[in-house]
Structure 1
Amino acid sequence: MKKLGLIDKIIFIFNSLLGTALLLSYLLAFIPPKSFPLLSVLSLGVPVLILVNLGFMVYWIIRLKRQFLLSFIVLLIGYNYVSSLYQFSSNTQTSEKEISIMSYNVRMFNTYDWTDEENIPERITDFIKEKDPDILLTQEHTVDETNLKEIYPFHFVHRKGRNSEFGSAIFSKFPIVEQYSVDFPHNGNNNAIYTDIVVKTDTLRIYNVHFQSLNVKPEIDNLRKEDSKKLLGRIGQGFGMQQEQAEMMMKKVRESSRKTIIAGDFNNTAFSYIYEFINDERFKDAFLESGEGFGQTFKLNYFPLRIDFMLFDAGIQINSFERFKNEYSDHYPVMTRFKI
């Protein structure tokens, strides 16, 4: 510090504060949101803290200052978090008899005209036909908006109650022998459904999950207008509800020894308690196995946010992972090819 100029000293003070903040944020994934709702909100800032500390590290390296070690050590300690944010190269392979599965939050097929684009249901259907996944999971699915049932001979479309505006659906080219819905007790349309799908001699259990929304609008102008205390309180409350929902679903998951895939809209990041709770030693994240780049799945104008996940039982071979950047919803669809 003695050899630093005044400006560099100020920069290093901020570097120290933000490095400490990142170090402490690593612990948030292990703290239940219901215990400290407002504290859990900080997990949303982990990606920003990672990028800021990377910026500090590069700055000090260019300046040939040993102060780069601060951010370097903090980032090294959280290597798994850094790798969750960005994948430098995809690890893809192909194999015979591989199966493809797609997850897509279709935003009610534009029922409320969130976009001026026309024929959204038809465009989504044409996109799905083009990519031709063997298994398709949709969230915010409104009934009878497409002819997907004509494409897939087996399907389970479920809304939580008569008054639900939308629900979740699983479409399959393979026979469905069992179906079930974990209806969360909270008001709203969120739930987790699963189907047992027979693929030749194997039976896969496929979960399609849609956790509680945090109701954060992607436009930055809307965030500026909103009262910060109310916003933080709502997000903290949402995290607490997500914890209850994840616990309900995982209780059901652990009752079965079938090879299992959990996919859908988590409405949370890979740095959260929810993700850590679900993605235990039994599962592996398809993006981390075969993805590339930031893997952004939600249209946030100012940050590449990944909140849609595909988690596979360790006994399943992941061949490839793709994210498709189309404009038909506020989410981007993701697809994984795998082999049992």
Structure 2
Amino acid sequence: MKIFRLILFILHTGVAFLLLGMLLNAYVPPKLFPWFNLLSLGFPVLITMYIILTLFWIFCWKKRAIVFAVLGLAFINPVTRWINYNADPEKDFDLKIVTFNAKNGALGVKDIENHINKLDADIVLLQEHGGKEYNFNGAKEVSVDAITATFSKYKIIDHKELIKSDFETNNAYANQTDVEINGKTYRIINVYLQPFKFEKKMIKLNGNSEENERKLKNVVRRLIPTFKKHQEQVEIIRESMDNSPYPVILAGDLNSVPNSYEYYHLSKGLKDAFVTAGKGSATSFHDYKFPLRIDYVFSSASLKATSYSVDRSVRLSDHYPVIATFTIEK
């Protein structure tokens, strides 16, 4: 039994160090050391192991349980970026935003259009719109680029590309759209960071250990260069936010999970609408049987999130639509 407990203690300590390493994504860029960013992908598994092992030590009445429990407080905020339990959403709001990766409309442009219209959003942000034409109720202003499209009921006073994209190769893209809402201007940034371009068969493991090892190596070969590319793209988007004379709303498909380098640096100075007003799970990408939150809505402090939801009532893409409402500081 002592040997078993020693093994568990070593395992628990190792998991703790991996989780602490993940927190360094706030400081260490992928070009310097990309492996910390890799840990963010495994956060749901790591934190589950950590909690189970902590409960085991508590059950065994071991003093080490106190140490691990106290250390676990460092991971409360990272957990709330995945799963949160805020009170019921406020009914009153001034602004409703929907962000949705439409997967090039492959599962039905008309179905997407009809469902988004039912949501009756003030601003709709699409990624991977596929060059399709959408007609959303009340959208007076439209800004469409290679991969992203912004639809607004409010007047668009300026629009600028932030990251150029070659649509044929489906590279990353981001733009900024300045919108006038009730006499005040807001900067809306629609983001689609570099995709990893995985297919299910590329990551699905089987009983063949050699083939599984090859698949894992191929996955890492795709992840590391993409992390580094994200760093460059994040710097461009950050410049737009840092130089903005207006309050900012940043939303879209980051192709990155919470607690990643991308999350920490794009959310800096902004509020995560899910953390502020979300309830339950924030998982938005459903194509794999693994919890992946890669779609987000962030805002400046002058816009208070009153609700945040992932619309799982439909499957119009490999992503679910994300809906957030805000009250605007008068």
TM over 0.5: yes
The match for 1:169 is 149
1:251-290 alignment, distance < 5 Å: 251-280=239-268, 282-290=269-277
The match for 2:301 is 314
Q: Contact (CA 8 Å) 2:285, 2:293: kept in 1 or not? A: yes
Structure 1 residue 61 displacement after superposition: 2.4
1:13-92 alignment, distance < 5 Å: 13-90=10-87, 92=89
Distance of 1:171 and 1:37 partners within structure 2: 35
SS at match of 2:280: coil
Flag structure 2 segments of 5+ consecutive residues without an equivalent.
Answer: 207-211
Structure 1 position 336 matched with structure 2 position 316: no
Structure 1 16/37 Cα, relative in aligned 2: closer, same or farther at 3 Å?
closer
Distance of 1:38 and 1:184 partners within structure 2: 27
Q: RMSD of the TM alignment (CA)? A: 2.2
Farther-moved stretch of structure 1 (221-230 vs 65-74): 221-230
> Which of 193, 197, 220 is the matching residue for 1:215?
197
Structure 1 residue 201 displacement after superposition: 1.2
Structure 1 151/54 Cα, relative in aligned 2: closer, same or farther at 3 Å?
same
Structure 1 residue 276 displacement after superposition: 0.9
The match for 1:183 is 163
Structure 1 28/189 Cα, relative in aligned 2: closer, same or farther at 3 Å?
closer
Structure 1 residue 91 displacement after superposition: 5.2
Structure 1 223/195 Cα, relative in aligned 2: closer, same or farther at 3 Å?
farther
TM value normalised by structure 2: 0.89
Structure 1 position 292 matched with structure 2 position 287: no
Structure 1 residue 301 displacement after superposition: 3.4
Once the two structures are superposed, residues 7-36 of structure 1 have per-residue CA deviations (whole angstroms, 9 ceiling, x without a partner) of 233222212221222222221332100112
SS at match of 1:214: coil
- The code of the aligned residue for 1:213 comes to P
Structure 1 259/157 Cα, relative in aligned 2: closer, same or farther at 3 Å?
same
SS at match of 1:303: coil
Aligned length: 319
Structure 1 36/221 Cα, relative in aligned 2: closer, same or farther at 3 Å?
closer
Once the two structures are superposed, residues 108-140 of structure 1 have per-residue CA deviations (whole angstroms, 9 ceiling, x without a partner) of 111xxxxxxxx6222211111111111000000
Q: Contact (CA 8 Å) 1:23, 1:74: kept in 2 or not? A: no
Distance of 2:301 and 2:233 partners within structure 1: 23
> Which of 96, 99, 116 is the matching residue for 2:95?
99
Structure 1 position 232 matched with structure 2 position 214: no
Q: Contact (CA 8 Å) 1:155, 1:170: kept in 2 or not? A: yes
Identity of aligned residues (%): 30
Structure 1 8/86 Cα, relative in aligned 2: closer, same or farther at 3 Å?
same
Flag structure 1 segments of 5+ consecutive residues without an equivalent.
Answer: 111-118, 160-166
Give every structure 1 segment of 4 or more consecutive aligned residues whose post-TM-superposition deviation is greater than 6 Å: none
Once the two structures are superposed, residues 165-200 of structure 1 have per-residue CA deviations (whole angstroms, 9 ceiling, x without a partner) of xx1000011111111111247864321112111112
Q: Contact (CA 8 Å) 2:104, 2:130: kept in 1 or not? A: yes
Once the two structures are superposed, residues 208-238 of structure 1 have per-residue CA deviations (whole angstroms, 9 ceiling, x without a partner) of 0000112234568635655322211210100
Structure 1 173/185 Cα, relative in aligned 2: closer, same or farther at 3 Å?
closer
- The code of the aligned residue for 1:180 comes to K
Structure 1 residue 62 displacement after superposition: 2.9
The match for 2:141 is 154
SS at match of 1:47: helix
Distance of 1:142 and 1:185 partners within structure 2: 13
The match for 2:237 is 249
Structure 1 201/322 Cα, relative in aligned 2: closer, same or farther at 3 Å?
same
Structure 1 24/189 Cα, relative in aligned 2: closer, same or farther at 3 Å?
closer
